[in-house]
């Protein structure tokens, strides 16, 4: 399966493209840039998060709702990153010992389908 992704590096850089070999338990995957570039090896240790998106453009004017109750996606969670950004959603598998974990956005209308958060990029993880 080919996934549309936006990767955010810990240093703030962003790349957009597709991947077909991302697995949460592996530290390396490949990104094919959306502009038709070649395949590039990505190490999750360099990243802040991997955003699995519906489309690359998104809607900058859209205000995400974070007070939406969604059933079946796990425990409600708020993640604060070292860079000041935060996301709210749901997770089924957070462990501080793992390199990362999946967060499903609280807002079902979000452009993000799910986010793979790199644990080392977080400053605080709180369950509601």
Comparing C-alpha atoms, which of 110, 70, 78 is closest to residue 94?
78
- Assess if residue 100 is contained within a domain: yes
Nearest C-alpha neighbor of 31 from the set 5, 66, 8, 63: 5
Strand ranges, E, within the chain? 3-9, 14-19, 28-33, 39-43, 47-53, 75-81, 86-91, 100-105, 112-118, 122-127
Number of domains in the chain: 1
pLDDT tens digits for range 71-86 = 788 999 999 999 999 9
Q: What is the pLDDT of residues 17-71, one digit of tens each?
A: 999 999 999 999 999 998 877 899 999 999 999 999 999 988 888 888 777 778 7
- 104 assigned to some structural domain: yes
pTM of structure: 0.93
Q: Look at residue 89 and tell me if it is in a domain.
A: yes
Flag whether 91 is in a domain: yes
Which residues constitute the domain of residue 36? 3-56+66-127
Residue 61 domain flag = no
Structure tokens at 113: 């389908």
pLDDT tens track for 98-127: 999 999 999 999 999 999 999 999 999 999
Whether 27 contacts 45, CB under 8 Å: yes
């Amino acid at each position: 399966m080919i996934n549309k992704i936006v990767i955010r590096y810990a240093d703030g850089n962003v790349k957009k493209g597709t991947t077909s070999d991302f697995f949460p338990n592996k530290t390396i995957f490949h990104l094919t840039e959306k502009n038709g570039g070649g395949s590039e090896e990505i190490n999750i240790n360099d990243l802040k998060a991997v955003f699995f998106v519906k489309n690359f453009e998104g809607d900058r004017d859209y205000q995400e709702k974070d007070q939406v109750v969604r059933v079946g996606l796990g425990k409600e969670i708020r993640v604060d990153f070292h860079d000041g950004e935060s996301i709210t959603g749901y997770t089924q598998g957070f462990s501080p010992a793992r390199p990362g974990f999946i967060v499903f956005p609280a807002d079902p209308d979000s452009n993000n389908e799910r986010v793979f958060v790199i644990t080392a990029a977080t400053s605080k993880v709180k369950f509601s």
